[in-house]
Amino acid sequence: MTGLESEGSQVRRAVCPGSFDPITNGHLDIIARASRLYDEVYVAVMINQSKKGLFAIEERIDLIGRVTAEYGNVRVESFHGLLVDFCKEREIPAIVKGLRAVSDFDYELQMAQMNNGLSGVETLFMPTNPTYSFLSSSLVKEVATWGGDVSHLVPPLVHDALADRLRRN
Ligand code: PNS
């Protein structure tokens, strides 16, 4: 039996949801910390049909899988529709979210309360490492597009993928 297949309801599971276009060091910090608290951590990559990302969903999943492989208890999947349905199907009782600043809180609180009301799933907020409190995928893409250095903000293989993608675009 592998760690990811053991004992049904005894397994403590959580999900880290997001767009991850692409994954940053800020995301990775939250996923790594969640992976130390839970037996299994799902990274759920939202499929947003109305928004074309820089990276395709499969590319995002591949990048996340490679940068989280060392943790051993992280699995990466895409989802569309409601996050609570993703949780229900996999018996995941907890959503783990990073909070960068007070400005994140209003919307995150709304989502947490809605998700709890819909299905009873709990949301746990983790303060982001202050090193990454200003960081977002959108800013990374914007800075990289104009030639700024983002090498300290994303894992090296994401940095390579970003450079490659922007060269071709
Ligand atoms: O990285 P993002 O884009 O800020 O992540 C947002 C995400 C995916 C966490 C959020 O939009 C979400 O959970 N979407 C799934 C749809 C859903 O369940 N909506 C109701 C939320 S109360």
Dig out the tokens for 123 from the structure.
Answer: 């949301």
pLDDT value, residue 56:
97
Ligand 1 centroid distance, CA of 49 (Å): 13
| Exposure on the CB side of residue 107, measured as CA atoms within 13 A | 7
pLDDT value, residue 50:
92
Ligand 1 centroid distance, CA of 110 (Å): 11
Give the Å distances, CA to CA, from 48 to 52, 62, 82, 83, 88. 8, 17, 11, 12, 20
> Is 83 a pocket residue for ligand 1 (Cβ < 6 Å)?
yes
Residue with tokens 């395709």: 56
Q: What is the pLDDT of residues 56-85, one digit of tens each?
A: 999 999 999 999 999 999 999 999 999 999
pLDDT lower than 50: segments of the chain: 1-6
Ligand 1 centroid distance, CA of 159 (Å): 25
- Binding site: residue ranges? 19-20, 27, 51, 83, 97-100, 108, 132-138
Whole-model pTM: value is: 0.94
Contact 93, 22 (CB under 8 A): no
- What is the spatial distance between Cα 20 and Cα 138, in angstroms, rounded to a whole number? 10
pLDDT value, residue 9:
59
Residue nearest to atom 11 of ligand 1 (CA): 18
- What is the spatial distance between Cα 152 and Cα 68, in angstroms, rounded to a whole number? 17
